[in-house]
Chains A and B, each alone.
Chain A
């Protein structure tokens, strides 16, 4: 059973528009959430994280929102750029630590010029 679910395998948006990537989780013990970005033939690169004590975290064009009651988080990218085209993984961990991450299957984002 998947504890971290990314139900959209792919997403296509126009350059300059907003990209919204979604992630749901089932384990209520998760308290730290991360988004990683992955280009082909490279390892995942950390993008942004959020602790369960917050409901929003921003870093430049990237914002992560956390809705604990719905066990849902989302990554907003505004404005989207062609260089943002990659696979985005949602990951979660529990008990306050970053080890033992549980990853979703990823969403492939394509930003069209």
Chain B
């Protein structure tokens, strides 16, 4: 029972590079989410999706893109990495109006 799986667990990027953070869930949840957590802060919502083909912005979407082609997968794309995007990224999924289940995070450093 894997739940929400995020890859990679750690990554170091150079300024201006691009990368995709992967997230997959095996619970058949309709809803999926991306959050970032900066040191000493709470989680902030970047993007979310209520189903395949449907995505919407959260509180801090600038500098990121998402897509949702399947129920299981919700990748997060950084096109031009900036130092301000150094953070821990969490993916989550849920049924509508149910608590969200989180992955273990991707720790991303941009130097």
**Which residues from B are CB-within-8-Å of A36?**
102
Q: Which residue of B41, B44, B105 is within 8 Å of A43 (Cβ)? A: B105
Output the least CB separation between B7 and chain A (Å): 13
Output the least CB separation between A15 and chain B (Å): 27
Which of B14-22, B76-84, B92-100 is the interface stretch? B92-100
Output the least CB separation between A36 and chain B (Å): 8
CA distance A85 to B90 in the complex (A): 21
Number of residue pairs spanning A and B whose beta carbons lie under 8 angstroms apart? 62
Indicate with 1 or 0, residue by residue over B24-60, a CB within 8 angstroms of chain A CB atoms. 0000000101010000111111001010000000110
CA distance A69 to B108 in the complex (A): 41
**Which residues from A are CB-within-8-Å of B94?**
98-99
Q: Are A103 and B43 in contact (CB under 8 A)?
A: yes
**Which residues from A are CB-within-8-Å of B98?**
98
**Which residues from A are CB-within-8-Å of B59?**
102
Interface size on B, residues (CB 8 A): 27
Indicate with 1 or 0, residue by residue over A69-113, a CB within 8 angstroms of chain B CB atoms. 000000000000000000001010000111111111110000000
Output the least CB separation between B55 and chain A (Å): 12
CA distance A97 to B31 in the complex (A): 11
Q: Are A43 and B42 in contact (CB under 8 A)?
A: no
Residue on A nearest B95 in the bound complex, by CB = A98
Q: Are A44 and B48 in contact (CB under 8 A)?
A: no
Q: If the complex has contacts A43-B4, A98-B97, are A89 and B42 also in contact, measured as CB distance less than 8 A?
A: yes
Q: Are B50 and A103 in contact (CB under 8 A)?
A: no
Q: Which residue of B42, B97, B100 is within 8 Å of A104 (Cβ)? A: B42
Q: Are A89 and B96 in contact (CB under 8 A)?
A: no
Residue on B nearest A89 in the bound complex, by CB = B42
Q: Which residue of A45, A96, A105 is within 8 Å of B41 (Cβ)? A: A105
Could you list 13 A-B pairs, sorted by A, with CB under 8 Å?
Answer: A36-B102, A41-B105, A42-B104, A43-B105, A89-B43, A91-B42, A98-B31, A99-B94, A100-B48, A101-B43, A103-B42, A103-B44, A105-B42
Question: Interface of A with B (CB < 8 Å)?
Answer: 4, 6, 9, 34, 36, 41-46, 49, 89, 91, 96-106
